[in-house]
Structure 1
Amino acid sequence: MTVIAKFLGPLIKSGQMTLIHADGVTELFGQPEAGFPNVTLRLKDKKVVRDIMLDLRLGAAEAFMDGRLIIEDGDVMDMIQLIRSNRPWERDGKLKEVAIWKRFFDFFASTFDQINGLGRSKENVAHHYDLGNDLYRLFLDEDLQYTCAYFADDDMTLEQAQAAKKAHIAAKLALSPGQKVLDIGCGWGGLALYLNKIADVDVLGITLSEEQLVVANARAEAAGVADRVKFELMDYRDLADRDAGQFDRIVSVGMFEAVGTPQFKTFFRCCANLMTGDGVMLLHTIGRFGRPGKTDAFTRKYIFPGGYIPALSETLEASEHYRLMVTDMETLRLHYAKTLREWYQRTVANKEAIVSLYDERFFRMWTFYLAGATAAFESGGMCNYQIQFSRNRSTLPLTRDYIGETEKNLIV
C-alpha cells in the first residue's frame, strides 16, 4: 500500500477515484455511487505524492496548476467534490474536544498573516481585485456582483439571483429618501447605484481597488447620478479618521473577509462612529458554521492574502464593544454554492479568453479556487451571514415582517 493510499483509502467510500502513479501503478479508492463523481487522476512524477502529503490543498493545487497532476476523467470540480463530499461538515460521529495544540496552531497560522495595516490592505486587495476587469466580466453577471447571490427561487438565473440579493439587502436597510448611505467595499458600484435608484438615497462607496474604482465612477457618470453616488479609493479607517460626518445607513458586502481578526474591533468601532444615533448597518460576509479556524495555504498564497473567513462568535464578540445591537441575523447556507457553480461554469466556458488574458496555469489556478470554494459551501463548514446592527432599539419595526414586504415590492 502506498503512502497516499493510507490517506485516501479510509476517506473515499462513495464515488470512485482511480489514481495512476508515475510508474504506472494504478490504485482504486471507493466505489461508484449515485450522486458522487468518479475521477481518474494521473501523476506525472513521484514528487506529486510528497507535495500532497505535506499540504493536501496547496500541494494538489500546485501540482494541478503545473500540469503534474492530470485529471483524465472528470474535472477539477469533480475531484474536489469527491474528496469533500466524503467527509461533510455535518457528518455523524462522536464529537470530541478540539486538541489544545490545534487551537494554538490555528491561531498563530492565521493571525500573523492578517495584520492588515493600511498599506498591506491595499496590496492584498490589488492582488485579487486588480487582476483586470476583463476577467471578471467573463464569469460574473452584467452588474459585476462578485458576492453571494440570493436564490429566492431555486430555479433563478444568476442574474435574477444577484438582483434578488440587492433587493434582500435593501429591504434590511429600511431606507428612506434623502438618507446618506456608506458602502464599504463597494466593488464595481452595482449595489450603490441600485440603492440610489430604488430608494432615492445618496451613497458613498469606498474601495481599495483602482480597477474597480474606474468602472464604478464611469457607471455613475453614465447613469447621470455622479453628484449623488460617489466613489473613492479609501480605507474605512481613513474615512473614520477624516471626520467624514455620519451616515444613516452602512452596508458592507463581501469585504469583512479581508479585514483580518486583529482589526475586527477597529472595523466595528469605525462603523459605529460613522453611524448616526439611529443608524442601521447590514454586514454580509462569508462565515464559518463552527469555531474560529485558519486560512489554508493555497488561499493565502494565490487568492486572498491576508484574508480570513470569520466565525460568527468572533464577529459578534468584536461588535459588542461599541454599542451595536444585533437586530437581525440570517444564515445563507447553500446560496453561495449555487453562485459559485454558476461562476465555475462560465469560467470553463470562457477558457480560451481567460488563457489569452493570462495563461493555462492561471486558468487552472482559478478553476481550482472556484471548485474548492464550491465544495466548501456544499460539504465544508462555510456559509454566509447577514447581520443587521442598529444604534437605537426603536429605529426599526418591532417585527421583521417589513423585510419580506419591502423585498416583495423590489423583486419584479
Structure 2
Amino acid sequence: MNLQSVLLNVVRVGDLTIKLPGGQTLKLGDGSGPALTARITSNSWAARIATNPGLGVGEAYMDGGLVLEQGEISAFIDLIGANAEFKKKKRRGPIRRWLRRTIREANNRVQSLRNVAHHYDLSYDLYRRFLDEDMQYSCAYFERPDITLEEAQLAKKRHIAAKLNLQPGQSVVEIGCGWGGLALQLVEDSDVEVDAITLSIEQLKIAKARAEAKGLAHKARFSLTDYRDLQGTYDRVLSVAMFEAVGRPNYQAYFDGVARLMKDDGVGLVHSIGRPEPGVTNSWIDKYIFPGGYSPSLSEVMPAIERAGLIVTDVEILRLHYAETIRHWRVRFEAARADIAELYDERFCRMFEFYLGIAEQSFRARRQYIWQIQLAKRVDALPITRDYIAENERAFAKPAKRAA
C-alpha cells in the first residue's frame, strides 16, 4: 500500500495538507481544527511512513523527512491521536504475540541496566531545564488547576506519603528512586529511614550528593541495585514510575518480591502508568525513548498481585494529572530549547518534542492514565476508611510539620 492510500484511509478528522515528493498535494480530514501543512521530503521517506506509520512518522520528523510548513508539532500530534481510532489493528496470533512480548519485555538484569541508561543517563542538565526544582520525573498531583508544577509535585509526594500512613522510625524501601527527591521528602517529613535503589548511574550520583548536602545520608541510602536483588524486610514498600520498566514476563517475580520485602503488618504502594485494556507499546517510543517498557492494564497486574498473597487495599486512578504534568514539561522544554540544542542537537530536540507531544496526547485521549495500587498482607494493616489519607495530607501541609 502506498502512502497516499494509507493517509486517505487513516486521516478522517482534522485539516491536514500533505505535500508529496513528486509535487502532488493531498488534502485530508474533515476541515476541523487548526490548518496544518506537512511536506515529505523524499520518496524513501514516503515509503518508510507507508510501511510502518507508527515508527516512520516519528523518525521522519526527527530526521527532517517530514517538515511542518504550517502549524505546531503539538497540533500535528493531536491530529494523529484524533485519528488513531480509525486505524485498523493488526491481528496477531496468540503465539506470535507471546513471543514478541517475551523477547521485547524480557528485561533481565543486563537488559534492564541498558534500557534504563538509554533514557535516564542522559545529561542532568537536560532534565533540570524542564522538570520542577525537586527533579520529579513522574506524574504530579494537581489538587487545583491553578497551582504550579512545583506545588503539584509536592502535592504528589504528600499524597503518596499519606497513603503509606508512615510513622516515625519506620523503614521504607523505594524501588526506583529517580534523583532522590521523594526519598528525601519522606525522611524529612516523616522521620523514617529509606533504602532507595536505581539502575541509573547518573541519577545515583545526584541522589547521593543531595542526601550528603542535606546531612541525611545516614537515613536516605541510595544504591545501584536491581529490584530482584533486594534483601531484608521493611515496614513500607514503595515504587513510583518504575513498574513500567518491569515487563509483563516479570510481573509475578516483581510482586513476589514486594511480598517478600514487606513485613507482615507492612504496606506497599505501586504507582504506574496504565492503560484501559491490554495493548502494545508504540514502536517509536520503544525504539527511541523507553526500550523494553510497557504500561499495563489493571487486568494484567491483578492476577500477579493475588498469586503473591497480597491484598489490594486501595486503588486510585489519576486521569488527566499526567497530561497536565507533561504540558508543563513541554512548555518548559520549549522555553529552554536553544540551550538543549547546544547540549545535544536539533535532531534530539525534535525527538524529545515528539515524545512529550505524543505522551501528553495519549493521556488526554484516554489511552493512558496513572494507577496507584495500595497493598498489604493483613486486612488490619491500615485504618478501615480512607479518611486517614486526607488527614495525613493536611498534616504534611502544615508549616510546623514541614519544618520538623
For normalisation by structure 2, the TM-score amounts to: 0.94
Q: CA deviation at 1:44?
A: 0.7
2:40 aligned with 1:46, yes or no?
no
2:179 aligned with 1:220, yes or no?
no
Query: Counterpart of 1:122 in 2: which secondary structure?
Result: helix
2:67 aligned with 1:70, yes or no?
yes
Query: Counterpart of 2:383 in 1: which secondary structure?
Result: coil
Residue from 388, 400, 410 that aligns with 2:374: 388
Question: Which residue does the alignment assign to 2:383?
Answer: 397
Residue from 275, 278, 283 that aligns with 2:262: 275
Question: Which residue does the alignment assign to 1:27?
Answer: 26
2:149 aligned with 1:158, yes or no?
yes
Question: Which residue does the alignment assign to 2:402?
Answer: none
Q: What is the aligned-residue identity percentage?
A: 48
Q: Distance in 1 between matches of 2:397 and 2:351?
A: 36
Q: Deviations over 1:16-35 (max 9, x none)?
A: 111111222211112443xx
Higher mean displacement: 127-136 or 80-89? 80-89
Q: Distance in 2 between matches of 1:376 and 1:209?
A: 26
Residue from 185, 197, 214 that aligns with 2:188: 197
Question: Which residue does the alignment assign to 2:167?
Answer: 176
Q: Distance in 2 between matches of 1:13 and 1:301?
A: 28
Residue from 268, 271, 281 that aligns with 1:295: 281
Q: Distance in 1 between matches of 2:73 and 2:275?
A: 24
Please tell me the residue identity of whatever aligns with 2:236: R
Aligned positions of 1:91-106 closer than 5 A: 101=92, 103-106=94-97
Aligned positions of 1:124-139 closer than 5 A: 124-139=115-130
Higher mean displacement: 171-180 or 49-58? 49-58
CA contact (8 A) 1:37 1:81 kept: no
Please tell me the residue identity of whatever aligns with 1:281: G
Q: CA deviation at 1:168?
A: 0.8
Question: Which residue does the alignment assign to 1:327?
Answer: 313
Residue from 251, 254, 257 that aligns with 1:264: 251
Question: Which residue does the alignment assign to 2:237?
Answer: 250
Q: CA deviation at 1:120?
A: 1.6
Aligned positions of 1:333-352 closer than 5 A: 333-352=319-338
2:48 aligned with 1:57, yes or no?
no
Q: Distance in 2 between matches of 1:188 and 1:126?
A: 14
Q: Distance in 2 between matches of 1:131 and 1:29?
A: 38
Q: Distance in 2 between matches of 1:147 and 1:402?
A: 24
Q: Deviations over 1:56-98 (max 9, x none)?
A: 1210111111111001112221111112124469x9xxxx9x9
Question: Which residue does the alignment assign to 1:82?
Answer: 79
CA contact (8 A) 1:130 1:210 kept: yes
Higher mean displacement: 2-11 or 157-166? 2-11
Q: Distance in 2 between matches of 1:100 and 1:368?
A: 27
CA contact (8 A) 1:87 1:379 kept: no
Q: Distance in 2 between matches of 1:336 and 1:160?
A: 14
Query: Counterpart of 1:101 in 2: which secondary structure?
Result: coil
Q: CA deviation at 1:308?
A: 1.1
Question: Which residue does the alignment assign to 1:188?
Answer: 179
CA contact (8 A) 1:19 1:27 kept: yes
Q: Distance in 1 between matches of 2:145 and 2:380?
A: 35
Question: Which residue does the alignment assign to 1:363?
Answer: 349
CA contact (8 A) 1:168 1:407 kept: yes
When residues 76 and 57 of structure 1 are mapped into structure 2, their CA distance, relative to the original with a 3 A threshold, is farther
Q: Distance in 1 between matches of 2:95 and 2:192?
A: 46
CA contact (8 A) 1:150 1:162 kept: yes
For normalisation by structure 1, the TM-score amounts to: 0.92
Count of aligned pairs between the two proteins: 398
Aligned positions of 1:102-121 closer than 5 A: 103-121=94-112
CA contact (8 A) 1:110 1:295 kept: no
Q: Distance in 2 between matches of 1:408 and 1:73?
A: 48
CA contact (8 A) 1:124 1:304 kept: yes
Structure 1: gaps (5+ residues): none
Question: Which residue does the alignment assign to 2:363?
Answer: 377
Query: Counterpart of 1:139 in 2: which secondary structure?
Result: coil
CA contact (8 A) 1:185 1:205 kept: yes
CA contact (8 A) 1:37 1:82 kept: no
Q: Distance in 1 between matches of 2:96 and 2:77?
A: 25
Q: Deviations over 1:194-231 (max 9, x none)?
A: 11111111111100101001110111111111111110
Please tell me the residue identity of whatever aligns with 1:257: E
Q: Distance in 2 between matches of 1:75 and 1:107?
A: 38
Query: Counterpart of 2:230 in 1: which secondary structure?
Result: helix
Residue from 267, 290, 308 that aligns with 2:294: 308
Query: Counterpart of 2:29 in 1: which secondary structure?
Result: strand
Q: CA deviation at 1:265?
A: 0.7
CA contact (8 A) 1:141 1:158 kept: yes
When residues 85 and 100 of structure 1 are mapped into structure 2, their CA distance, relative to the original with a 3 A threshold, is closer
Q: CA deviation at 1:10?
A: 4.7
Cα RMSD after superposing both structures: 2.0
CA contact (8 A) 1:106 1:293 kept: no
Q: CA deviation at 1:13?
A: 4.0
When residues 86 and 301 of structure 1 are mapped into structure 2, their CA distance, relative to the original with a 3 A threshold, is closer
Q: CA deviation at 1:103?
A: 5.0
Q: Distance in 1 between matches of 2:26 and 2:342?
A: 36
Q: Distance in 2 between matches of 1:383 and 1:38?
A: 29
Q: CA deviation at 1:259?
A: 0.7
Query: Counterpart of 1:305 in 2: which secondary structure?
Result: coil
